[in-house]
Every structure is written in structure tokens, then in C-alpha cells.
Amino acid sequence: MADLDGSNYDYVIVGGGVAAAAAVDGIRQLDDSGSVLVLGAEADGPVYRPDLSKKLWLDESSSLERSALLDGQDFDLRIGTEVTSIDPAAHTVQVTSGATVTYGKLLLATGASPRTLDLPGSDRIMYYRNASDYRRLRELAGEDMPVTTVGGGYIGAEITSALTQNGVRVTMIFDEELVQQRLFPESIAQLVTDDFAGHGVRLLAGETVSGGELADDRVGIRVGDGSVIEAGAVVVGVGVVPRVELAEAAGITVDDGVVVDEQLRTSAPDVYAAGDVASYLDSLLGRRRVEHVDSAEKMGKHAGRNMAGADEVYDYTPIFWSDLFDNGYEAVGDLDSRLDTVEDWNADRTAAVVYYLRDDVVRGVLLWNVWDSSDRARDVIARSRDGKLGRGELIGAIPTS
């Protein structure tokens, strides 16, 4: 590809993740000839990120190549290329090499960066986010090479489940008493915790990490009482922070994320945002920022379409899902166990619908081993918000089998 400096594209997408890939799709639905440039800081082009902690470990027919997005699309991709500044007035972006690119429409799909802990730098310690992290963990983890996971959220739980099912001994360190306690009511968090223990995971609950030490092929993680947990690799999942710096420096409105309107436009002309970085107006739940792939895909595609002239209101409320050993779930809305919850279990307590309420209004629905019900969950949230479904009517509102 020619040197970037001085080039001119109809569409420039900053970020090379799922939202970026979906945006290319969206643009191409309406504009099959406009020039598109994707600038990704990662070493790989867009991959379907959920596969990195699930399918690639659990489905033998999967491969990183198959998880790659955008096959067959006509666009220019620059990986390992970080955008250093945006000038919305001049309609230009600058990249690390100093090259300047002019855009017609710009999408900020910069995603989020993992939070880090005060640990020594080592390629055996992964803040698990991208394809390189997957490759490295594949190299390191094995039946004779145990792994420590840190954090009781999505990454900690999914990687622990995936590795354990690959015969890897895993020690999971997390600061809550139960696995995914922030998300689930106690009944389900306890069930998940017991299931992890039953599969042989060593659980260090209620522990914080106070440091780490490196030896030849081992990393030691020090926990609160001073003891050191040794492993061949450490996967840390302690949350992410939206990458808003570029937008902020360009004077674009930021509030937790890059603020977009109902058409996914930022405060700067011809600049859109989508995915983990975007604070958007959810038609059911109000202004929010969502760090899940369904949101990145739908918002990315929608932003692409709008950049290409569709001018459509974004009115999608995303789902998210996870698989943990033999259990799985889908969910819509706010899953925060500090909210008031109503649990509706099936007869043999293998499946449940959990409603999360604030001031008696449903804000979120967990479909625990319950499938194909996300539209019903959205409907419950809407009817509850509109005062058409009372708290006492929730049991049975969504079938548990």
C-alpha cells in the first residue's frame, strides 16, 4: 500500500476491532465505491473477540483465521498504526509516523484498554484483550503449565472455564467472595462458584493481588496474606477503560465515553463513534455505554450506514452472553447484583429468569440457561418502564423452559 501521508479517504475508521469491522459492512451496504481506511493499533486485523475466550478453546473446528472479520470486503487496512491526533476542523487524522490522512467521515471505534495491576512487565502476564494475547496463552498454557487468572469478571471466569476444559490447572484469584458476584444474585453466583470448584479450579476468593515476581518460566502472584501463587502464565481481567483520549484532545464531548446522539454522531461534524467507547442513548434504558460484542456489532454497522448517508435513529438494546462450563446465559440491560432482584426458577432449578429492578422498574433481565428469549426480555423492560407490568407480575412473564 502506498504511503499514507497526504492520502484522502471518504471514510476513515480509527480502531480495528469488532465495531470497526461492522462499520465497514454498514458503509458497504449503502456505498460500494467510497474509499475506506481502517487504522488499527493492534498487530492483527479485526477478529471476533468473543472467540478468544470461548470458541477457540472449546471448538476444535475453530481457528484464529476463521475468527477474522471482513474477509472479502474492499477497504484499506493499516494494522499496528496508532492515530495520534484528530483535527475535526481540517477533517484530518495524524498517525504515529507523522503521516496525515484526510477524511470525509470519521468513525471513532477505539474501544477500551484493559486496566492494569502493579505487576512486573512480562510476556507471561496478559491483560487479555486481543489475538496476540490468545496466541501467547496458547503457547504457554498446558497440562504441565498451570495458569493463574486474576479478576472475577468476564475474562477471569471465561478463561478459567476454557482452560480448565483444556486440562490446564487454574488458580483463580478474585476479590469478591463468589465468582461473578457483581453480576449474579447470590443463588447463581454460589452455583457458579460450586461448579468451578467441582471442575477442579482452585479458587482464591476475597483476595487482592499485592504484587508479582518473575522466575525463568514462572510468574509468582502475591496475594494479601503474602503467599505467592506460581504459574506459567497469568491472565488478568480487572476491567477496561474507554479509550477517549483522542476525542478529548480534539475537543469532542466526552462523558465516561465519547458522547453520541441518536444517530451516533459525536459533537464534531462528520465524526461518529461506536462500540465500547461510545456513550449512546439506549431507547429502553437511557444513556449508557456497553462493553459487549453485540453492541459493538450493531452500533458499528449502524454508524457505518449513517456515515454513508442513511440518517437512521439507533434504537437497539444489545444482549450479552457467556458460557461457563455447562451453564450459559443471555442477558439484556443492567446486571448489577446490588439492584433488587426477582428470581423465577424452573422446577428442577436448572434454569432461571432473574429480573433486576431499580425503584420497582425492571432495568435488566438475566436468562440463565434460558434461550431465544431476549426479545421477551426487552419487552418486559419496556412494559415495566411504561407501568404496564408490575413487580408482582414478573414471575412467569418469561418462560423458564
Contact code string over 329-368 relative to ligand NDP, x by CB under 6 A = ----------------------------------------
Q: Which residues pair with 367 in a beta bridge?
A: 330, 353
Give the residue with the Cβ less far from ligand NDP, 191 or 209.
Answer: 209
Give the residue with the Cβ less far from ligand NDP, 292 or 363.
Answer: 292
The answer to whether the beta carbons of residues 377 and 284 sit under 8 Å apart is: no
Give the residue with the Cβ less far from ligand NDP, 161 or 400.
Answer: 161
DSSP 8-state secondary structure symbol assigned to residue 261: -
CA-CA-CA-CA torsion sign (75, 78, 79, 82): negative
Single out the residue of 78, 243, 289, 292 in contact with ligand NDP (rule: CB under 6 A).
292
| Cβ neighbours of 143 (radius 10 Å) | 9
Closest residue to ligand NDP, judged by C-beta, is: 153
Give the residue with the Cβ less far from ligand NDP, 137 or 389.
Answer: 137
Side by side, the strands of the sheet bearing 319-324 are 319-324, 327-333, 361-368, 352-358, 340-345
CA distance 319 to 342: 19
Interface with ligand NDP, residue 322, by CB under 6 A: yes
Give the dihedral of Cα atoms 232, 237, 238, 239; nearest 10 deg: 160
Single out the residue of 76, 175, 177, 270 in contact with ligand NDP (rule: CB under 6 A).
175
Per the structure block, which three cell numbers stand in for 101? 490522512
Per the structure block, which three cell numbers stand in for 252? 469532542
Give the residue with the Cβ less far from ligand NDP, 237 or 364.
Answer: 237
How far is the CA of 28 from the CAs of 22, 72, 91, in angstroms?
10, 12, 21
Q: How far does Cα 53 stand from its chain's mean position?
A: 11
Give the residue with the Cβ less far from ligand NDP, 37 or 324.
Answer: 324
Decide the pairing of beta strands 147-150 and 233-236.
parallel
Smallest separation (angstroms) from ligand NDP to the CB of 128: 8
Single out the residue of 134, 320, 329, 356 in contact with ligand NDP (rule: CB under 6 A).
320
Smallest separation (angstroms) from ligand NDP to the CB of 281: 20
Interface with ligand NDP, residue 196, by CB under 6 A: no
| String of DSSP letters for 65-134 | HHHB--TT---EEE-S--EEEEETTTTEEEETTS-EEEEEEEEE---EEE---S----TTEEE--SHHHH
Give the residue with the Cβ less far from ligand NDP, 34 or 46.
Answer: 46
Interface with ligand NDP, residue 238, by CB under 6 A: yes
Interface with ligand NDP, residue 156, by CB under 6 A: yes
Residues 6 or more apart whose Cβ sits within 8 Å of residue 146 = 168, 169, 170, 171, 230, 231, 232
Per the structure block, which three cell numbers stand in for 39? 487504522
Interface with ligand NDP, residue 319, by CB under 6 A: no
CA distance 367 to 344: 10
Single out the residue of 120, 239, 309, 390 in contact with ligand NDP (rule: CB under 6 A).
239
Q: How many residues lie near ligand NDP (CB under 6 A)? A: 22
Residues 6 or more apart whose Cβ sits within 8 Å of residue 56 = 62, 63, 64, 67, 134
Smallest separation (angstroms) from ligand NDP to the CB of 216: 26
Stretch of 89-97, 231-239, 256-264, 336-344 lying at the interface with ligand NDP (CB under 6 A)? 231-239
* Coil, strand or helix at 30: helix
Interface with ligand NDP, residue 116, by CB under 6 A: no
Contact code string over 124-153 relative to ligand NDP, x by CB under 6 A = --------------------------xxxx
Smallest separation (angstroms) from ligand NDP to the CB of 175: 5
Single out the residue of 209, 233, 352, 362 in contact with ligand NDP (rule: CB under 6 A).
209
Smallest separation (angstroms) from ligand NDP to the CB of 239: 4
Single out the residue of 44, 177, 186, 291 in contact with ligand NDP (rule: CB under 6 A).
291
Task: State which of positions 20-59 bind ligand NDP (CB under 6 A).
Answer: 53
> Which positions lie near ligand NDP, rule CB under 6 A?
53, 117, 150-156, 158, 175, 182, 208-209, 237-240, 291-292, 320, 322
